[in-house]
Amino acid sequence: MTLKEIAKEANVSISTVSRVINQKNTKAASTEVQERIWEIVRKSGYTPNTMARSLKLGQESVPRPPEPKTIACIYARSNSASSDLFFSQIAKAIEQEAFKSNYFLRHSFTGLDILNPEIAARIAATPVDGVVVLGRYDKQMLRFFTEHYKYVVYTGLNPMGSKYDQVVCEGTEIAAAAVNYLHELGHTKIGYIGEQNNESRYTGYRSALQRLDLPYHPHNAANVKLSAEGGARGANMLIDAKADITAIFCANDNTAIGAIHALKSRGFRVPEDISVIGVDDLETSQYMSPMLTTIHVPTEDLGRMSAKMLIDRLNGGHHLPMKTVLPFYIAKRDSCAKPARHRKSFADAAAAKTAKR
């Protein structure tokens, strides 16, 4: 397929397609149009004609480009590759960075796919040169990709041992930064909503409380899945348990969004009654009311660095396992404030609910 054919199918100009796939201008087209172009590129297996490009520039002797190679992405923590915005952003950056080096994203699949023997068999029968694992994996998934893939890079917030290459943003440090920020605002009773088993953000939350000599009580933490539904469930759990808290650290933005909706439905004001902070800095977090205070995780850089590390490994650039740790920062917005003297507490809400009965 040519640029002209891609442009025709995407209903855009040839120059727009060229700018998007060569990444010369990130604002060359809307996000929707860029996604449409990359979908066509992925489906058609388009490869840039470097020989024609060089001849156009006046270079007479041009080596024939190597055959394109392929990679895959494993959404280890997601049931749907398209519904997880955080990891989808990372995967998009992986695909675009790999494209520069003549590597193509052949397929993406989830942990749920691996549990299906028929789908798992099809995946195993479709060879790729290397894979990037997005998010924390379990023993079954570890067994799957060690059996079928020689070159593996992990990326996410939970560092995974030292056997494989990995590009991470340290979840324990992220949690510590969130708790420290809430403490700086004056909060001394801080709750948690999110997963707990083998979760670095929960470990970091507990450690940060201990370092600051702040209390931890099991009823101030809700162990729920990282999702909007999980966040809403976690907030209701904390309210019903009469959690003695003035702020909540949520393990990701989707969880925080769900928690805020549940808090509002139970009559709580954010941040007047309770402060909420998330993790990821998804685009949607800026359009909430109040705008969500969150930890900004550099998803595009996680993706780009993961692709570069995998390609370097495939090309023999390094042989020992490498670990790259990327920085983060707090995006301070409107969902966090100093604790108010006069506020509605969870105990008040629970008492009111009991009185109505």
pTM of the model: 0.83
Q: Rounded mean pLDDT of 73-79?
A: 85
Cβ atoms of 147 and 115 closer than 8 Å: no
What 8-state DSSP symbol labels residue 160? Answer: -
Dist. CA 65–CA 187, nearest whole Å: 59
Determine what percent of the chain is predicted with pLDDT higher than 90: 58
Residue showing tokens 């109505």: 356
pLDDT of res. 357: 53
pLDDT of res. 353: 57
CATH code for residues 171-297+331-356: 3.40.50.2300
* 149: alpha, beta or left? (left if phi > 0; alpha if psi -120 to 50): beta
pLDDT in tens, 261-310: 999 999 999 999 999 999 999 998 989 999 999 999 999 999 999 999 99
Dist. CA 55–CA 227, nearest whole Å: 51
Q: Mean pLDDT in the chain?
A: 88
Which token pair is 10? 């995407």
Q: In what order do the strands lie in the sheet with 275-280?
A: 221-223, 190-194, 247-250, 275-280, 293-296, 329-331
How many helices (DSSP H) and strands (DSSP E) are in the chain? 14, 12
Dist. CA 353–CA 347, nearest whole Å: 10
pLDDT of res. 26: 60
Dist. CA 291–CA 243, nearest whole Å: 24
β-strands 69-75, 103-110 pairing: parallel
pLDDT in tens, 109-165: 888 888 888 988 888 888 899 999 999 988 888 888 888 899 999 999 999 877 889
pLDDT of res. 161: 78
**Quick check: 24 pLDDT over 70?**
no
Dist. CA 252–CA 230, nearest whole Å: 11
Dist. CA 89–CA 96, nearest whole Å: 11
Q: For residues 179-214, b (16+ Cβ closer than 10 Å) or e, as one string?
A: bebbbebebebbbbbbbbeebbbbbbbbebbeeeee
Tell the CATH topology of 1-65.
434 Repressor (Amino-terminal Domain) (1.10.260)
The CA dihedral of 95, 323, 136, 79, to the nearest 10 degrees, is 0
pLDDT bin (cut points 50, 70, 90) of residue 351 is low
- 2-6, 197-201, 210-214, 332-336: least confidently modelled range: 2-6
Which token pair is 302? 């996680």
In angstroms, how far is CA 145 from the centroid of its own chain? 20
Q: Where are the domains of the chain?
A: 1-65, 171-297+331-356
Cβ atoms of 254 and 282 closer than 8 Å: yes
pLDDT of res. 52: 46
Dist. CA 170–CA 201, nearest whole Å: 9
